[in-house]
Structure 1
Amino acid sequence: MSINTIALLPDHVANQIAAGEVVQRPASVVKELLENAIDAGATYIKLIIKDAGKSLIQVIDNGKGMNPFDARMCFERHATSKINKADDLFTLTTKGFRGEALASIAAIAQVELKTKQEEDLVGQHIVMEGGKMISQSECQTPTGTSFIIKNLFYNIPARRNFLKSDQVEQKHIIDEVERIAIPHTNVHFVLQSNGNEILNLPQGNLMQRIKSLLGSYIQKELVQINEDTSFVKIAGYVSLPGSAVKTKKEQYFFVNNRFVKNPFLNHAIYEAYKELISFQSHPKYFIFLELDPKHIDINIHPTKTEVKFTDDKTVYMLLLSSIKRALGKANVSPSLDFESETGIQHENAEVGKVYTQPKISYNTNYNPFHSPASNAGNPALEKANKQNWESMFEGFKNNTETVMAAPEQEQQLMEEIKKESIDFSVFQLNFKYIITAYNQNVMIVDQQRAHERIVYEHYMNSKKENSVPSQQLLFPEQIEMSANDFSLVKGLLDEFKFLGFEFEVFGKNSIVVNGTPADMQDFNVVQTIEGIIETYKLNTIDAKVEKKDNLCRAIAKNISIKYGKALEQEEMKLLLNHLMQCENPLYTANGKVVMMNVEYNDVERFFKK
């Protein structure tokens, strides 16, 4: 008799598996609980976290609350008040609808719920642990709901080990709060972390909400979009081309007030900025699409951040045109005239005029693959033609060994140039390269990369007992930043101080700069520090480096000599002499080539041809 091998999973195991799709990190729990609070009609939501949500996540709202039966049922799988039949999926106006969130959260954490409806005298207090009901009792609580999530993944230690540092996890939580807070400007949001208030966003309009989240500076960088068509309504803000940044930040797409990710529509935005922003630069945008729910499908991913449209191409073209129109109004690109009819514009016909079909003349004997008749049959000209064509490919015939130096050659070159002292003539080419001669060879140096290498090693080689000296500012500068950038800077305060920066936390998401490194006195303090933060974040994406190393790279990138700066003879000599003393003068910290060496023998061979 055969043995049965297929069996139904126990409910608590099934819930833990479902939790793997819905709850990936503390930010996933925050997202689900905030969306439930929004659906409950809350106008005030307070989020409290400890240890970036690993120890505690508490969401308190003043929504409509739940009765005793609903309070118990909300923890069951596929229990939802949002839909009753499959057709309801195409008329959704709420955030959550799957009925998996609370069941999944309860399966991998210790959960406490307090809730009360306005007409009830007492509320309900429910305690869950590992997906099992521990107790349900009556309690005194204000109208609304309070969820307390403790010790996330306590019963799945392997999942808990995959969580990142508190700084990274808190960043993800702030991201989720921002994505929910931006479209719901009628809700007052408060975020507290380890007893400190991170965000306090009172009710207001969209621009006020954006400024509260990202800083007042952003208002002057944005232009408004507002287009209403029969298929979709497009509203929001996009940034001016001059405000494009090197990292993809402050990019928000909302469909019916739900944050979504859609590469197809993202392409439409970048297409609108084509030839307006430089390569690898990214615009900022806060775009809201509003259309009939029957034209979208949001039930394609457990986190509900992906969406499909019944007519992608129409949405794409309308979005592209709307952004171009907005930029046109700001006088940064040609504007599209939405008032005119699409189609061919005809000139007024003259009465009595006879119109004839235009004639086109062309050479019927023309063949692009044949030489002109005058050259046909001429062997000398045909041979010359062939040589001209072959000369186009001469540059590709170089052996790779001559293009890229071997490691032994690089080491030898490094040793040779370190012995040299630049005390003879140097000159600047196109305000970008420094050219000099040494040991009968010619050396071409990229001035910005060379100074970048020098500054990087200067900061990297500074020791704890001999930190970089700081220059006090006569007038301290205040910098307002986003919650994520503020959190990043707070985590780097010790590193900044060691490298000569003196910061002081001022208010919620602001710092005051009291001092900077002595060699930064000629730079705009605010712009330079903002550039350092952006470069630091970009380095974090591109390469995994230690904090001090990353910060030194970012500082070197932003305070080094830039292309276009005219240098005196003594400045160029000093720059080259300092470069020769570097541990690795051939490359920047990011691996870019600093100099080019042209040997005397190569020059001799060239002129002997």
Structure 2
Amino acid sequence: MYGADAYVTVFFHSVCILQPWKLRIGQWNCTIWLSTSNRKVSTMSKIRILPEQLANQIAAGEVVERPASVVKELVENSLDAGSDRIEVEIEGGGTRLIRVIDNGQGMDEDDLLLSLERHGTSKIQNEQDLGSINTLGFRGEAIPSIGSVSKMTLTSRVADSPLGTRVVLEYGKLTKVHETGCSLGTTIEVRNLFGNTPARKKFLRTTRTEIGHIEEIVKNYALATTKATFILRVDGRESLYLDQTLSLKQRLAAVMRFKGDFLPVTSSGGNSRHLKGFLVPPEQVSVGPSRLRLFVNGRAIRDRMFTHAIAEGLRGFLMKGKNPAGLFCLEIPPDEVDVNVHPAKQEIRFRNGRDVHLFISSTIQQAMADHQQQIKSVLFGKDKLPDRQPVPIWGQQDSEDVVLPRSENPAAGDTAPSASFPPEEKTGAPQDIGAFGGDKAFRLEQDKSSDDVAPCPVSAPVARRPQPKKLKPAVRSIYETAEPMPGGRGASRTQEQRLPSPPHHGETAHNLQVIGQLDNLYIFCKGPEGLVVIDQHAAHERLLFEKLRRQFLERRVVSQTLMFPETVELSVFQAELALKNSEEIARIGFAVREFGGNTFIISAVPAVAGTISPTELFLDVLEKFGSEKESSGGGLLDNILANMACKAAVKAGTPLSAPEIDRLLNDMARADLFSHCPHGRPVMRLFFPDEMKKWFYRT
């Protein structure tokens, strides 16, 4: 008469609060509400309690956004049940059928029926459990929410029972409960998703798009749980199969379809936080959206702070417009992270976000520093590698009183040694050294301060080798007489002018045999593993940047006093920037004072930029201070120092002599970071013999 979901409401006016009591009489579901008020309840009251089915549909709007949301909730339940084999089958983009089969602990009849109730869960029991959640699911909303907008069948069996139980729901209505034969574990079928809410269904994307979202969900949890086998079938075709025998690295390579070598990232021990993962080398990252997969305690998440920390760790290695790619798994105590901030549990909140950010970025910086050592062993030979020094990290300690360890071996030089090639006798005041060419020759800077960093020695000149009579103009040997290329800044020089006199003795840090220069920009060398091509400007820029950065942290950036101070007229905005950032400007190496109004006098500039117009350099620094989103911090200072190093580095089109090239290679071999310029461009490229044989079909 009333239907399967009729409600009988009885009010008792002597109780304190509204309390629902559910009864089942035959085919009818009855709910008795006990009213707490002593006052008479009006039948025309504006506030009403929503029916349970409608409440479930509203909850489904938050939890079940699309078919991929259903797959996510069901896979999480399977993993929480201890499954080591999960099969996902979808048809029609997930709207026609979603079937998830696992071999977990399973549920008996009572648990199956309780799982259909809102907030029915086995994951948490009290308020204290909510503060340290160790499971993927915990709210108990997924099953009833999904069942309210689909035709759902649940089949499950526990280990100690010969038969299982099958429960059938049709858009929130329980229609069948009976025993059945089935395998250990749980199978959930979701058919005709959003069949009773066509307005929700029409907002779904194309079938291809929905399948793509489902694949991403399965891939994420296959990467988060390597001990389980994951199988995905789309319209009867096997789309993904990741066996539990595959390692995390193998799974990631298969998921990302990446055939290169990942850079491993592992945090050091002794901390409650642990970070591990694999990073795509910066030079192999493509332009486009970020391809990062982030996990916290086994949960796939999207977190801006996590992503920003990774980008900070890779600062100086990624070109503008490129984003990091790879996988990172963060293990953190459950009480330090709140996973109950998003209905779909895709976003989290860290209790100590600043500390976590620094931990992630410093771990990645250390991984990149270790990667530099591996590159050194390949390029320069393992027997030529000096001991590596710690890499300074922005924000790791207060930059006002940073004291970094130095090498006790003066011959090893600074971590980022000066790339000043022909050394001069040391004097008491800082000055420019070295001249590459004629009147407008490019000059390289060397630190002449009173610190204990000795200049890197230059190896003895290599004996001249016979050259063929005709040589392609674009490729010239560094041993022959060099004429400047079109657009080059160097003047014509003879071989005798290019070689040092007298030679400076010292151990060669690199193990490369220089072949020659191409277009006065690329240096070709024969290395232990193959052909090495080096961009001279990018290499020198990185060395100068690391030197400036270390000097800045140690508060000892070398300045060069101008013989004739320059006067510069600033705008009101520029004058405010100069006064506001006067301390940082002084630490960079400038000596600037007010002259009246918006006029300033520049009396000293950083010695590394001694050949650049002081006014031009000062205005460029002010522009950086004004254009950056943040007025302080490592990112801003890195950009300023990188711009200074770029302007001071040896330019394209500048011919280099044999000792100059040798000095540059020595400095690269001694530096901690050298593989990329501060703007992220690669410094060198290694061509292996096998690769070159393929070019000429010799394999």
TM-score range, shorter chain: 0.5 to 0.7
| Corresponding letter in the other structure for 2:256 | L
Match of 1:289 among 313, 323, 330: 330
147 and 372 in structure 1: CA distance in 2 versus 1, 3 angstrom threshold:
closer
CA distance, structure 2, for counterparts of residue 2 and residue 265 of structure 1: 53
Match of 2:219 among 159, 162, 178: 178
CA distance, structure 2, for counterparts of residue 294 and residue 227 of structure 1: 21
CA distance, structure 1, for counterparts of residue 233 and residue 75 of structure 2: 14
Which residue of structure 1 aligns with residue 208 of structure 2? Answer: 167
335 and 242 in structure 1: CA distance in 2 versus 1, 3 angstrom threshold:
farther
55 and 366 in structure 1: CA distance in 2 versus 1, 3 angstrom threshold:
closer
CA distance, structure 2, for counterparts of residue 309 and residue 6 of structure 1: 37
Cα offsets for 1:241-280 (capped at 9, x unmatched):
1022222253111110111111112111112222322211
Partners of 1:325 and 1:335 within 8 A in 2? no
2:97 maps to 1:56: yes
2:363 maps to 1:322: yes
2:64 maps to 1:5: no
Match of 1:23 among 56, 64, 88: 64
Partners of 1:228 and 1:234 within 8 A in 2? no
Q: Which runs of 5+ in 2 are unaligned?
A: 1-41, 377-387, 408-555, 562-585, 602-615, 621-651, 653-694
182 and 2 in structure 1: CA distance in 2 versus 1, 3 angstrom threshold:
closer
| Bigger mean CA offset, 92-101 vs 1-10 | 1-10
CA distance, structure 2, for counterparts of residue 151 and residue 241 of structure 1: 45
Match of 1:209 among 218, 241, 251: 251
Which residue of structure 2 aligns with residue 546 of structure 1? Answer: none
Deviation at residue 338 of structure 1 after TM alignment: 10
| Corresponding letter in the other structure for 1:54 | T
2:428 maps to 1:369: no
176 and 2 in structure 1: CA distance in 2 versus 1, 3 angstrom threshold:
closer
Deviation at residue 216 of structure 1 after TM alignment: 5.2
| Corresponding letter in the other structure for 1:344 | V
Cα offsets for 1:349-376 (capped at 9, x unmatched):
xxxxxxxxx9xx99x9964327799xxx
278 and 347 in structure 1: CA distance in 2 versus 1, 3 angstrom threshold:
closer
CA distance, structure 2, for counterparts of residue 176 and residue 161 of structure 1: 22
Deviation at residue 211 of structure 1 after TM alignment: 2.2
366 and 26 in structure 1: CA distance in 2 versus 1, 3 angstrom threshold:
closer
Which residue of structure 2 aligns with residue 138 of structure 1? Answer: 179
Match of 1:312 among 324, 335, 353: 353
CA distance, structure 1, for counterparts of residue 369 and residue 264 of structure 2: 10
Cα offsets for 1:374-421 (capped at 9, x unmatched):
xxxxxxxxxxxxxx9xxx9xxxxxxxxxxxxxxxxxxxxxxxxxxxxx
2:138 maps to 1:97: yes
Cα offsets for 1:555-576 (capped at 9, x unmatched):
xxxxxxxxxxxxxxxxxxxxxx
Which residue of structure 1 aligns with residue 229 of structure 2? Answer: 188
347 and 16 in structure 1: CA distance in 2 versus 1, 3 angstrom threshold:
closer
Partners of 2:171 and 2:196 within 8 A in 1? yes
| Corresponding letter in the other structure for 1:210 | L
Partners of 2:265 and 2:275 within 8 A in 1? no
Deviation at residue 52 of structure 1 after TM alignment: 1.1
Give the structure with higher Rg (CA): 2
372 and 295 in structure 1: CA distance in 2 versus 1, 3 angstrom threshold:
closer
User: TM-score scaled by structure 1?
Assistant: 0.56
Match of 1:276 among 317, 334, 339: 317
User: TM-score scaled by structure 2?
Assistant: 0.49
Deviation at residue 212 of structure 1 after TM alignment: 2.8
| Corresponding letter in the other structure for 1:174 | E
Cα offsets for 1:225-255 (capped at 9, x unmatched):
3433424111111121102222225311111
Which residue of structure 2 aligns with residue 114 of structure 1? Answer: 155
CA distance, structure 1, for counterparts of residue 233 and residue 592 of structure 2: 81
Partners of 1:327 and 1:335 within 8 A in 2? no
Alignment of 1:57-456 (within 5 A): 57-203=98-244, 204-215=246-257, 217=259, 219-331=260-372, 336=390, 344=403, 367-369=594-596
CA distance, structure 1, for counterparts of residue 389 and residue 183 of structure 2: 54
CA distance, structure 1, for counterparts of residue 91 and residue 210 of structure 2: 11
Identical pairs, percent: 33
Deviation at residue 65 of structure 1 after TM alignment: 0.3
346 and 67 in structure 1: CA distance in 2 versus 1, 3 angstrom threshold:
closer
Deviation at residue 158 of structure 1 after TM alignment: 0.4
* RMSD over aligned Cα atoms: 3.3
| Corresponding letter in the other structure for 2:403 | I
Which residue of structure 1 aligns with residue 78 of structure 2? Answer: 37
2 and 37 in structure 1: CA distance in 2 versus 1, 3 angstrom threshold:
closer
Which residue of structure 2 aligns with residue 571 of structure 1? Answer: none
CA distance, structure 2, for counterparts of residue 89 and residue 335 of structure 1: 44
137 and 324 in structure 1: CA distance in 2 versus 1, 3 angstrom threshold:
same
CA distance, structure 2, for counterparts of residue 316 and residue 244 of structure 1: 23
Deviation at residue 215 of structure 1 after TM alignment: 2.7
Deviation at residue 198 of structure 1 after TM alignment: 0.1
User: What secondary structure does 2:261 align onto?
Assistant: helix
CA distance, structure 2, for counterparts of residue 201 and residue 372 of structure 1: 66
User: What secondary structure does 1:155 align onto?
Assistant: coil
335 and 164 in structure 1: CA distance in 2 versus 1, 3 angstrom threshold:
farther
CA distance, structure 1, for counterparts of residue 405 and residue 88 of structure 2: 61
| Corresponding letter in the other structure for 2:249 | M
CA distance, structure 2, for counterparts of residue 328 and residue 345 of structure 1: 16
CA distance, structure 2, for counterparts of residue 47 and residue 98 of structure 1: 23
Deviation at residue 125 of structure 1 after TM alignment: 0.6
| Corresponding letter in the other structure for 2:250 | Q
Partners of 1:103 and 1:131 within 8 A in 2? yes
CA distance, structure 1, for counterparts of residue 592 and residue 265 of structure 2: 57
Alignment of 1:416-565 (within 5 A): none
368 and 288 in structure 1: CA distance in 2 versus 1, 3 angstrom threshold:
farther
Deviation at residue 224 of structure 1 after TM alignment: 3.2
Q: How many residues in Structure 1 have an aligned counterpart in Structure 2? A: 365
Which residue of structure 2 aligns with residue 555 of structure 1? Answer: none
CA distance, structure 2, for counterparts of residue 198 and residue 78 of structure 1: 34
Partners of 1:223 and 1:327 within 8 A in 2? no
CA distance, structure 1, for counterparts of residue 72 and residue 316 of structure 2: 37
| Corresponding letter in the other structure for 1:368 | F
CA distance, structure 1, for counterparts of residue 348 and residue 154 of structure 2: 31
User: What secondary structure does 1:135 align onto?
Assistant: strand
**Which protein is richer in helix relative to its size?**
1
User: What secondary structure does 1:170 align onto?
Assistant: helix
Extract structure 1 runs of 4+ deviating beyond 6 A.
332-335, 370-373
Cα offsets for 1:185-242 (capped at 9, x unmatched):
000000001110000100132112212322351x414333343342411111112110
Partners of 2:263 and 2:371 within 8 A in 1? no
335 and 64 in structure 1: CA distance in 2 versus 1, 3 angstrom threshold:
farther
CA distance, structure 2, for counterparts of residue 263 and residue 84 of structure 1: 31
CA distance, structure 1, for counterparts of residue 49 and residue 322 of structure 2: 52
Partners of 1:329 and 1:335 within 8 A in 2? no
CA distance, structure 2, for counterparts of residue 238 and residue 47 of structure 1: 28
108 and 366 in structure 1: CA distance in 2 versus 1, 3 angstrom threshold:
closer
Q: Which runs of 5+ in 1 are unaligned?
A: 349-357, 374-387, 393-429, 431-523, 525-609
Cα offsets for 1:65-120 (capped at 9, x unmatched):
00110011111100000000111012211100000000100000000011000100
